[in-house]
Amino acid sequence: MTPTWLNVLDETARVCAAHGRTDLIQWVKQKRAQLVDPKLRVLVVGEPKQGKSQLVNALINAPVCPVGDGLTTAIPTVVRHADEPTATIVEESGAAPVPIDDVAARISTAVSRRTDSAEYAEIGVPRGLLAAGLVLIDTPGADGDNLPAAGSSVAAPARADVVIMVTDATRELSVTEVNLLLHVVRSHPKVVVALTKTDIAPHWRLVAERNRQHLASAGIAAPLVPVSATLRLAAARTNDKAINAESGFPDLVARLKQYLAAKNDVLAPTAVGVLTATVIEQLAAPLRAELSAKDSEEPMARLYEAQRTLDELRRCSTRWQNTLNDEMTDLMSDIEYDLRERTRQIMRKVDDAFDAADPLRTWEDYQAWLEKSLTEVAESNFAWLLQRCDWISGRVADHFVRYEADVVPEWQVNMPDLTRHIGTIDQPNIERFTAAQKVFTGLRGSYGGLLMFGLATTLAGMPLINPISLGAGALFGGKTIRDEGKSLLRRRQALAKNATQRHIDDFFLRLNKECKDTARWVQRILRDHYTSVTEQLHDAIVHSLRNAKQAADADAAERNKRQMEIQQQMRRLATLYEQAQALTVRPEGPAVLEPVA
């Protein structure tokens, strides 16, 4: 009957294949081959110069690993049972046998000649402990940062069922060693801490107790076994059981034998539980991240952008219409004011001119000047009207700048014939001061002077008509003629001013209507053009909004489908995790859990 842990391990491989994780599949297959192998692989790790190699030598009572000053293990060394002592250096290019007596030197000097190719040593020795199924793996000095990654070629010989973490009794566990242990216990269910060199540390019991406290504080459930390789080797040479018991190795060996005996029933299920939990965490992490991720922002962003653009277009439509109406209203008022101001300036010049000039003498020149002045007023006013209309068109077009569209309309108003609004001013019916009128006016004025001074001189005994009265009559007659000429001049000037005022008023009314009609015509052109532009933009935005909504709905449907798939995968992982947890918490025999006496 297939063990439960093997079924869980095979299901883990199938789940990895379903998720496309070929790297994890390779790892699970390697672990399966390792667990179905009846041999117990024991990995010896620790910092340099802690006694790892001496520990391996003491366990099998054979100097297979390099020890001593200046010697260190440079490559992993696999020690297994063999009928005859053998040694092999394994590289990527192949395996090369070496003499058993030279292997220690080769292992210790390998670091100086290694290339980028993977390299480890395999040593076979005839020992009862190894024949029982124990395989020891000595490793170079390592810490939590440079431990080989699982699945790499360098780590291949270092795959283990049990890990012995070596630390010497001359000091307490360092932070680096605790970190190394934390790294190891994540992937190996069984870890033993070997406290070496107790023979040279008089206070090793205190150090051992302190180390147990450090392990408990870090949450590392690993037994600590004090050992002395020197005492073990000395006991082996003299066959002294008491010294062997004092060395602590019987406790360590008993633990390894118990782990070996319980590999299929206890160690393998626990290892599978740890392995499966680690694999499930790696598979579930991206699924949880994808499941908890927010909805895809791109379709919703396009939808929100299209909706925002549509709302902005509605506001833009209101703004450009208000701008057009306000600017056109201001334009008509400004054009009328400008025309009124220009005509008033002409009228002031006319008043100043006719305060001194006689219309009878200057009328023809005045007519030409007035026609020229009114023409300039009409052209300037109408040109300004067209400039303002073009400026207003640009103001309205500014509201559409964000849409990156060329919306300025092409319109043209040619300068009309403005002379038809000017006309020709007719000379008013100006009364002339004729010679007969002068004679009659002179006689009328001289009569009063002659009579007044003649009566006055009669009091002096002079006749009514005398030289004095005649002179006075001539003087009064001349003054009367001059006064009447001035009066007639003022009437002619007043008539000319009134005629000019009426002419300018008629000109103002006609030209003002022409300008307002032109402004309204331009306003209708701009209104129709920008209304058409707004409708086109509205249709385009509505189309974009519809497409964005369809894309958002499709994305939501696809995401819901993907979420259902993820939830189904998560349920499968949860079921597998529960099975793995059942393996992990499976009760073990007391010989495995309790310290060995």
Tell me what pLDDT residue 109 has: 64
Tell me what pLDDT residue 37 has: 85
Tell me what pLDDT residue 361 has: 77
Helix (H, G, I), strand (E, B) or coil at 44: strand
Between the CA of residue 589 and those of 129, 258, 418, what are the distances in Å? 22, 10, 119
* Cα 262 to Cα 270: distance, rounded to the nearest angstrom: 11
Q: Per-residue pLDDT tens for 344-374?
A: 998 898 888 888 777 777 777 888 888 888 8
Q: Per-residue pLDDT tens for 475-528?
A: 777 777 777 767 777 887 788 888 888 888 888 888 888 888 888 988 888 888
Strand order in the sheet with 134-138: 94-97, 86-91, 119-125, 77-81, 134-138, 40-46, 162-168, 190-196, 224-226
Return the closest-CA partner of residue 224 out of 267, 172, 281.
172
With respect to CATH, is domain 38-261 assigned 3.40.50.300?
A: yes
pLDDT higher than 70, residue 550: yes
pLDDT higher than 70, residue 70: no
Whether pTM > 0.75 for this model: the answer is no
* Cα 197 to Cα 229: distance, rounded to the nearest angstrom: 7
Return the closest-CA partner of residue 63 out of 47, 88, 85, 89.
85
pLDDT higher than 70, residue 420: no
Percentage, residues of the chain above pLDDT 90: 17
Tell me what pLDDT residue 591 has: 32
pLDDT classification of 163: cutoffs 50, 70, 90? very high
Of 471 and 327, the structure prediction assigns the larger pLDDT to 327
Least confident interval from 54-63, 332-341, 497-506, 537-546: 537-546
Tell me what pLDDT residue 151 has: 38
pLDDT classification of 312: cutoffs 50, 70, 90? confident
- Whether the CB-CB separation of 182 and 165 falls below 8 Å is answered with no
Residue 274 CB-density burial (10 A; 0-12 exposed, 13-18 middle, 19+ buried): buried
pLDDT higher than 70, residue 437: no
Q: Per-residue pLDDT tens for 168-226?
A: 999 999 999 998 898 888 888 889 999 999 999 899 999 999 999 999 999 998 999 99
**From its phi and psi, is residue 248 left (phi > 0), alpha (psi between -120 and 50) or beta?**
left
- Whether the CB-CB separation of 162 and 42 falls below 8 Å is answered with yes
pLDDT higher than 50, residue 241: yes
Tell me what pLDDT residue 149 has: 41
Q: Per-residue pLDDT tens for 111-122?
A: 444 444 547 888
Listed by start position, the domains of the chain span: 38-261, 297-577
Which of 136-145, 445-454, 539-548 reaches the highest mean pLDDT? 539-548
- Whether the CB-CB separation of 510 and 374 falls below 8 Å is answered with no
Tell me what pLDDT residue 419 has: 63
Mean pLDDT on 150-154: 38
